[in-house]
Chain A
Amino acid sequence: MSLFLIAALPFLGAVLPALLVRASRNAAAGTAAGATALALIGVLTHAPAVMRGEVPMARAPWVPSLGLNANLMLDGLGLLFALLILGIGLLIILYARFYLTRRDPMGKFYALLLLFQGAMLGIVLSDNILMLLIFWELTSLSSFLLIGYWNHLPEGRQGARMALTVTGAGGLAMIAGALLLGQAAGSMELSDIIARREAVQASELYLPALILILAGCFAKSAQFPFHFWLPHAMAAPTPVSAYLHSATMVKAGLFLMARLWPALAGTDAWFLLAASVGLITMVLGAVTALFKDDLKGLLAYSTVSHLGLVTFLLGLGTPAGAVAAVFHIINHATFKAALFMTAGIVDHETGTRDIRRLGGLAAFMPVTFLIGAVAALSMAGVPPLNGFLSKEMMLHEAAHTAWLGSELALPVLAGLAALFSAAYSFRFVAHVFLGKPRLAHAEPPHDPVVWFWLPPAILASLTVLIGLFPQSMAGELVRAAAGAVTAGAAPEIKLKLWHGVNEALMISAAALAGGAAALALHGPLARVWAVVAPPAAKRAFDALVGAATAAARRLTDALHDGDFGRSAAIFSVFAAGLGAWAWTAGGAAPLGAFPAALGPTPPIPLIGWVCLVTATLTLTALHRHRLLALVLIGVTGLMVSLTFSYFSAPDLALTQISVEVVSIILLLLALNFMPRETPRESSAARRARDLAAAAAAGLGVGAAIYAILVGDFAFAPISEFHLANSKTGGGGENVVNVILVDFRGFDTFGEITVLGIAAVLIYALTETIMAGPVRARLLNRRPAEPQAGDAHPMMMVVATRVLMPIALTVAVYIFLRGHNAPGGGFIAGLIVSVAFVMQYMASGFSWAAARQRYPYHAFIGLGVLVAAATGMGAWFNGKPFLTSDFGYVKLPGLEKFELATAALFDLGVFLTVLGAVLLALESLARYAWRPNIASAHPMDIDPTRDEAAQREEGR
């Protein structure tokens, strides 16, 4: 099976549970399991080749210029992780089917779980470090959604936010580090990077890259001092904890350390950073775990501790350490996932996870007890379980390494961690399953159905089997993975249970005995811990986040306090300042003389100019009278349209005229709800300041335009290209339209999409506001001024009805000629909109709305779809998106005419503009709607009624 398909399967599968959950919950779980199982089979088909030392690859360029390629590879390390992700994923899917209750949205759960699975699989299969980063961020996002799955619980939301903040910040560091590393190695391909150890370590970028990458790994893998997010992430449903927080996501950081091990490890900096942080995390996590009373909290801190152990082993930088690290990754995944699932079963059956309230469950739940006990003893490192083996290897490495100049420090600290590890593992068994029952059960808890306990049982039996037969169960996998981690330098290690009596065994025995003793003394020790425990990291985190939020808010409030005048003033002064700075910096081209080509100004344009200036100045003086201001804006719009015409831009003129009408109507609709006059609110000093800012901005813009008019072009203008290629390349003589629908078709496509979104947003806002208490206030509104009699005057109704077909004909004409003469879909859309709005104005909202057969949203959606489909049509001819085509057709009786795909695209533009304008206007008009002005007749005078009355009289 292609690696691409394997990587894509979870993502493809993620759609199915969300859809099929309506059929049944089993269908949702079944499809999720099916996709996972298929991917697992795909990985297994490659396993023999990988074991032989081959590395299956799948390559595809994505953005090669950036070094970003969709390259996948499956080496021993990738195989190990892929098996963990998919194998445990399969068990989790089965487990979650019985864990989630009827009230939990199961389709959403499986969709998110598979999304996460795909992201995680992408990390371990990536051969390109940039693509790995993309998947890395995807795991952060999908785990955020999974932790916050129960989004009605505040702990869930807080935990999810904290996890996202910490792992997201780590992800940023990771991006920077990965880019530096890619630069140091001269390639973004992981297989190249790990082959260039000397180049990387000799580079001066090595240290910053190392620190940033390790920071990212530590944040993801919950290493000190970033470990605090993991316990808070325990608000997630238990299957998520078992999957993400024991077996997979928290191991992503370890995976990357292992992946980059050949390139980065072996230096003092690596040893000091990774081994030390790992050691601190290992000890701190183990000690804290013993004193956690929440079952999942205990497991979370123990996970932190075990992750520290693996970091420590990788940090040693020795091949033997790498082998032990790989082996412990397998072992930890098996026993910890089993323990989380056991904890979930206990929680599910007893309703609590508080260890102080649990006890004596062994009598009620023998199967769960057996599973939990085996897994916990493996975690404690009791022979002959698998946890014992890797712990022995770790202790062996620790006993033979000096740290900070001391031969004794490592064995003692590692032994201490092992002691506390044994203690909390024993506590998990003793305080939950043994002793006296401490919970008054109305109904005694019992073992769940077999499917619920089967997944942890499988994992627990694996801990026994790997412990007893390590070489045959895991030897090959460990060899292949360790070979990949160390780039072939791994020693041939035979995994075996009995190494003879050595330091490691003695430390281990002492740790187990000490662990039992610590458990016996748990009560007094807990009281001591309550005094000496380090402060909760959550408080520091909250303070940090709170300070950052407050600072951001202060800055935002200083710039935007909701006063438009203020933000406009800040913007104007800033822009004018920038312009002045750019001018004085002297980078501008020298100004020429006023171009003679413009020549002396003829009188008529001068009159237009006088009108424009007069209107603007009058507007400034009278702007407090809102309706008058709008009338003056009408003059400005008219003059701008005439200017466009005069300077040979008929397309712009047509657009400007139609936009003008629509915006006047929009503004009048809004003005209805505002006072007629703007009150004078600001002080004289403030007005003087605003005047200065406005003058600076206005003069600055004027100066900039003058500079452009008389200055030389910095680059040759591109208009020549457009003029030369419009007819031959785009099949149209109207260059403006060809630019819109062909040369820059992609921009237009984006713009109509945004336009549609904006209109739908206006609709959604209206919908929300009208659903609230505002509606009652609007209905009870009294008009500020007396109203004239006619709501729907007959004159207007007749005039608009007559005009409607004419306007539509003109719109069709403008649309069709658009490609070769001024016009096009945008203008046609505006004309039709105005024709419709006239009907709304003449006969009222209710009358027009009752005659509207298709919703305006549909026009918007159809328009975008038509444009997209036209663009995609090019694919079928092997051309890129939105490549247009045209041809000439001769029909009998007609002259030869042109057919262009651009016209179809323009149809999409037309539909979107029509839908967007009308949806926006209709939404705004709804605010003023009142039931009592709903009229059954198109106008105030109903001729049929009068006829009936006359007949009545005549009788």
Chain B
Amino acid sequence: MIALALDFAFACFGAAMLMNMWVVAAGRTVEDRILALDTMVINAIALLILHGIWAGTAVFFEAAMIIAMLGFVSTVAYARFILRGNIIE
């Protein structure tokens, strides 16, 4: 049962990843692309955790945690750059 659920989840997040990539590559505005990148980071967290469940190991947990904790900082920095130009005022 868990294997089936894992396959389903992998398929969903994999597809999401590809769609994110589509927007990053061909999005209408820079803002769209930045948001897509941010979503991509979240999907990456999911994939890491899924992979950990699939392999039965906790070794990917820290990587996922650090992406979750720091990943948004780049998004904020991109956003600040668009809004203010200067990211450390």
Contacts and interface: CB of A to CB of B under 8 A. Distances in A.
Given A603-B14, A841-B80, A841-B87, A632 B24 contact: yes
A783 B34 CA distance: 22
Nearest to B86: A928
A390 interface: no
B30 A628 contact: yes
A384 interface: no
Contact of A660 (B48, B51, B62, B74): B74
Interface residues of B, number: 43
Interface string B53-89: 0000001101101110111011011101111111111
Contact of A665 (B62, B85, B87): B87
Given A641-B67, A791-B84, A845-B88, A615 B25 contact: yes
B69 A607 contact: no
A610 interface: yes
B59 A615 contact: no
A899 interface: no
B42 to A, nearest CB: 11
A839 to B, nearest CB: 10
A599 to B, nearest CB: 15
Most chain-B Cβ atoms within 10 A of its Cβ — which of A615, A635, A806, A821? A635
A648 B51 CA distance: 11
Contacts of B59: 648, 650, 821-822
Contacts of B89: 791-792, 844-845, 928, 930, 933
Given A604-B10, A658-B66, A928 B21 contact: no
A798 interface: no
Contact of B41 (A638, A807, A834): A638
A787 B84 contact: yes
A653 B63 CA distance: 7
Contacts of A628: 30, 33
Contacts of B86: 672, 783, 928
Contacts of B26: 618
Contact of A837 (B34, B44, B67, B73): B73
Contacts of A783: 85-86
Interface in B15-57: 17-18, 21, 24-26, 30, 33-34, 37, 40-41, 44, 47-48, 51
Interface in A597-631: 603-604, 607-608, 610-611, 614-615, 618, 627-628, 630-631
Contacts of A642: 44, 47-48
Nearest to A839: B88
Nearest to A838: B73
Most buried by A among B14, B17, B78, B89: B89
Contact of A650 (B10, B18, B25, B62): B62
B70 A658 contact: yes
Nearest to B66: A657
Most chain A Cβ neighbours within 10 Å, of B17, B48, B63, B78? B63
Nearest to A618: B25
Interface residues of A, number: 66
B34 to A, nearest CB: 6
Contacts of B60: 645, 650
A837 B74 CA distance: 11
Contacts of A604: 10, 14, 47, 51
A933 B88 CA distance: 11
Contacts of A827: 66
A908 to B, nearest CB: 22
Contacts of A845: 88-89
Contacts of B41: 638
Given A650-B62, A669-B88, A607 B81 contact: no
A823 interface: yes
Nearest to A845: B88
Interface in A799-846: 803, 806-807, 810, 814, 821-823, 827, 831, 834, 837-838, 840-841, 844-845
A668 interface: yes
B65 A627 contact: no
A791 B89 CA distance: 7
Contacts of A200: none
B9 to A, nearest CB: 11
B14 to A, nearest CB: 5
A654 B25 contact: no
Contacts of B63: 641, 645, 650, 653-654, 657, 822
Nearest to B52: A645
A661 B78 CA distance: 11
B81 A668 contact: yes
Given A841-B87, A841-B88, A810 B47 contact: no
Which residue, of A627, A631, A658, A783, has the highest number of chain B Cβ atoms within 10 A? A631
Contacts of A921: 88
Contacts of B84: 787-788, 791
Contact of B24 (A615, A650, A664, A784): A615
A875 interface: no
Nearest to A634: B37
B50 to A, nearest CB: 8
B81 A807 contact: no
A646 interface: yes
Interface string A658-681: 101100110011011000000000
Nearest to A637: B74
A827 B69 CA distance: 14
A646 B50 CA distance: 12
A672 B85 contact: yes
Contacts of B66: 654, 657-658, 810, 814, 827, 831
Given A615-B25, A627-B78, A631-B30, A834 B70 contact: yes
A925 to B, nearest CB: 4
B81 A672 contact: yes
A947 interface: no
Given A604-B47, A635-B40, A822-B62, A610 B69 contact: no
Contacts of B34: 631
A631 B70 contact: no
B10 A665 contact: no
A796 interface: yes
A645 B62 CA distance: 11
A841 B76 contact: yes
Contacts of A803: 69
A631 B24 contact: yes
Contact of A646 (B21, B51, B71, B73): B51
A672 B66 CA distance: 27
B85 A785 contact: yes
Contacts of A787: 83-85
Nearest to A603: B14
Contacts of B30: 627-628, 631
Interface in A278-320: none
A783 B78 CA distance: 16
Given A603-B14, A635-B37, A645-B48, A669 B62 contact: no
Nearest to B50: A604
A615 B81 contact: no
A665 B51 contact: no
A805 to B, nearest CB: 12
A289 to B, nearest CB: 68
Given A650-B60, A806-B69, A810-B66, A627 B81 contact: yes
Nearest to B48: A645
Q: Which 5 A-B pairs have the closest CB atoms?
A: A788-B83, A925-B88, A618-B25, A928-B86, A664-B74
Interface of B: 10, 14, 17-18, 21, 24-26, 30, 33-34, 37, 40-41, 44, 47-48, 51, 59-60, 62-63, 65-67, 69-71, 73-74, 76-78, 80-89
30 contacts: A603-B14, A604-B10, A611-B17, A614-B25, A615-B21, A615-B25, A618-B24, A618-B25, A635-B40, A638-B44, A641-B67, A642-B47, A657-B67, A657-B70, A664-B77, A668-B81, A669-B87, A671-B81, A672-B87, A787-B85, A788-B84, A807-B70, A810-B65, A814-B62, A822-B59, A822-B63, A823-B62, A827-B66, A841-B73, A845-B89
